[in-house]
A = this chain, B = another copy of it.
Amino acid sequence: MPSKVTLAEKFAGFSEQWAPRIVARYEGHEVRIAKLEGEFDWHSHTHDELFLCVDGELEIEFRDRTETLAPGELLLIEAGEEHKPVARKGEVQVLLLDPENAPNTGDPETATVAVEA
């Protein structure tokens, strides 16, 4: 039976950026956290992906628009939607929801595998 997870403690436990950590498992999906800074590559997934901004300001660029997330804001990225996360104003802390083992880049060849927090 899982114990509670204090996100601030989990974020304090690593410094690597763009390297997701798993903090909980739900119905075949992984609740992940990550630290982001700078620009990520354009990519898409075969599944939906949820971003919840915990700290900092995160831009998520789409081909036709940009969504800017502040803490307490979330965004659902639908399967197939090309997107590019960008953290222009310093490091951002996010909580993510992805299927188990789903590659963060959309491609197992280039992905940083999510590991336990």
Contact = CB atoms under 8 A, between A and B. Distances in A.
Interface in A1-29: 1-8, 23-27, 29
B72 A2 contact: no
A90 to B, nearest CB: 19
Contacts of A26: 48, 50, 76, 97
Main SS at interface, chain A: strand
Contact of A76 (B25, B62, B99): B25
Contact of A74 (B31, B67, B74): B31
Nearest to A54: B72
A69 interface: yes
3 smallest beta-carbon distances between A and B, as pairs: A24-B76, A2-B76, A4-B75
